[in-house]
């Protein structure tokens, strides 16, 4: 007898999509406004870009652009390349990602684990949009290397098509069509264009709102540096469908990163920087929305991809976001008690701290024999 909704999949392609909508109760500034988050980090490769990778590979196979032993060469801030690499092996493809040197360590590890090669640009300033340069390098390599193919997520119609076919209908189905607005971060603009097309076909009154970091120019403004990876651009991608977008919002790095940290503490979910853009926009929009509105935000990936940036205290200090770090304060009973023991709170200090045997003695904890030998040898 079937007792659950669990499904058996015979390939990772079948596991992509049908991600849950999570209702958060802490984000809305109006209790009568419902906010749902589409948790795209629950795709098998860990991001919404699994869908993009699947859509582009499927279309390229249908068009005859991909064959066994093809090398897919893609400009990526990490997630799309990870999705491509995850799916490539079962079809005999090779993947080469073209990335800048600010690619987070976790994304590098995933690409390596999936057998992908990574081409790193020369050193570039933090916050510089390197996308156009990366695209040019990917095209050059695809032309120069036998069996090289550049799918081009910023210009491939298969990118928005997969969201029109899957992501948008999933939202409508889960909420029985009760959607007031959908908010998505913009980069390639495939997600917002495809979801927007699906929503407007169902109900033209559903609002589609894009959000980008200050410094991105998709919705106008001056080109400037920003630190939110995967969101925003210094040019307008050809697959952007402005006809289905009602408005665009700009959010500062500080506001997005603050939203990421606040959401982790309120809901126990770590999201990436583009998710922070969406969370900030949702919180502000909830305050302006009529009662009984239903808002949906797209969360592209999880925060564990940014442990060495958004969640690293040194990185936050270097980029002047130090107010987001958990710094113990004098007078805090927890901090004072921990310090009195010779331990440290939230950070690992550069000093060794008290002798281990002294701490064990104070707490009446037996020092294991092997540790005792270590202490004797190091004395």
107-160 pLDDT, tens digit each: 999 999 999 999 999 988 877 888 999 999 999 999 999 999 999 999 999 999
The CA-based angle 98-64-62, given to 5 degrees, is 100
> What pLDDT shows up at residue 172?
98
In this predicted model, what pLDDT tens digit does every residue of 27-63 receive, in sequence order?
988 999 999 999 999 999 999 999 999 999 999 999 9
H helices present in the chain, as ranges: 12-15, 49-63, 79-88, 105-113, 131-144, 158-162, 168-174, 190-202, 253-267, 273-288, 313-318, 333-341, 356-362, 369-378
Report DSSP state, residue 318: H
Asked whether the predicted pLDDT for residue 262 surpasses 90, the reply is yes
Written as six digits, the tokens of 118 are 């990574």
**Full-model pTM:** 0.91
Q: 């076909």: which residue's tokens?
A: 201
Integer Cα distance of 241 and 318 in angstroms: 37
Mean pLDDT for all residues in the chain: 92
Integer Cα distance of 288 and 291 in angstroms: 9
Task: Identify the CA nearest to 189 among candidates 336, 298, 321, 106.
Answer: 298
> Catalytic annotation on 165?
no
In this predicted model, what pLDDT tens digit does every residue of 83-115 receive, in sequence order?
999 999 889 999 999 998 889 999 999 999 999
> What pLDDT shows up at residue 329?
64
> What pLDDT shows up at residue 313?
87
Asked whether the predicted pLDDT for residue 331 surpasses 90, the reply is no
Integer Cα distance of 39 and 162 in angstroms: 17
Domain with CATH 3.40.50.1100 in the chain: 12-46+157-318, 49-149
Query: What band does 368 get if pLDDT is binned at 50, 70 and 90?
Result: low
Consecutive H or E run containing 294: strand 294-299
Task: Identify the CA nearest to 110 among candidates 82, 91, 138, 129.
Answer: 82
Looking at CATH, the fold of the domain delimited by 12-46+157-318 is given as: Rossmann fold (3.40.50)
- Of 25, 29, 49, 165, the active-site residue reads 49
In this predicted model, what pLDDT tens digit does every residue of 60-76 receive, in sequence order?
999 999 998 999 999 99
49-149 under CATH 3.40.50.1100, yes or no: yes
- Mean pLDDT in residue range 204-224: 97
3-state secondary structure string, 142-205? HHHCCCEECCCCCCCCHHHHHHHHHHHHHHHHHCCCCCCEEEEECCCCHHHHHHHHHHHHHCCC
> What pLDDT shows up at residue 5?
73
- Mean pLDDT in residue range 294-315: 95
């Amino acid at each position: 007898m079937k007792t659950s909704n669990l499904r058996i999949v015979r390939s990772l392609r079948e596991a992509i999509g049908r991600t849950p909508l999570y209702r958060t109760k802490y984000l809305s500034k109006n209790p009568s406004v419902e906010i749902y988050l589409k948790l795209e980090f629950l795709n098998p490769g860990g991001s919404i870009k699994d869908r993009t990778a699947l859509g582009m590979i499927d279309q390229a196979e249908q068009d005859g652009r991909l064959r066994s032993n093809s090398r897919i060469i893609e400009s990526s801030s990490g997630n799309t390349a990870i999705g491509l690499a995850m799916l490539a092996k079962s079809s005999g493809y090779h993947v080469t990602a073209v990335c800048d040197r600010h690619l987070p360590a976790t994304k590098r590890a995933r690409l390596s684990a999936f057998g992908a090669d990574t081409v790193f640009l020369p050193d570039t300033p933090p916050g510089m949009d390197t996308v156009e340069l990366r695209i040019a390098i990917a095209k050059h390599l695809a032309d120069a290397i036998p069996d090289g193919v550049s799918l081009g997520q910023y210009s491939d119609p298969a990118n928005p098509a997969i969201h029109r076919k899957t992501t948008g209908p999933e939202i409508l189905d889960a909420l029985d069509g009760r959607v007031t607005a959908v908010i998505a971060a913009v980069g390639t603009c495939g997600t917002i264009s495809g979801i927007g097309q699906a929503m407007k076909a169902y109900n033209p009154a559903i609002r589609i709102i894009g959000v980008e970091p200050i410094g991105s120019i998709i919705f106008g403004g001056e080109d400037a540096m920003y630190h939110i990876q995967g969101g925003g651009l210094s040019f307008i991608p050809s697959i952007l469908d402005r006809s289905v977008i009602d408005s665009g919002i700009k959010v500062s790095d500080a506001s997005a990163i603050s939203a990421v940290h606040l959401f982790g503490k309120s809901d126990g979910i770590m999201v990436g920087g583009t998710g922070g853009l969406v969370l900030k926009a949702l919180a502000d929009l909830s305050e302006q929305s009529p009662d009984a509105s239903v808002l949906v935000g797209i969360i592209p990936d999880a925060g564990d991809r940014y442990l060495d940036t958004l969640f690293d205290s040194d990185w936050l200090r270097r980029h002047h976001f130090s107010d987001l770090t958990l710094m113990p304060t004098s007078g805090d009973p927890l901090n004072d008690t921990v310090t009195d023991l010779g331990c440290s709170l939230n950070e690992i200090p550069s000093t060794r701290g008290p002798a281990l045997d002294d701490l064990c003695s104070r707490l009446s904890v037996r020092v294991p024999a092997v540790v005792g030998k270590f202490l004797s040898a190091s004395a």
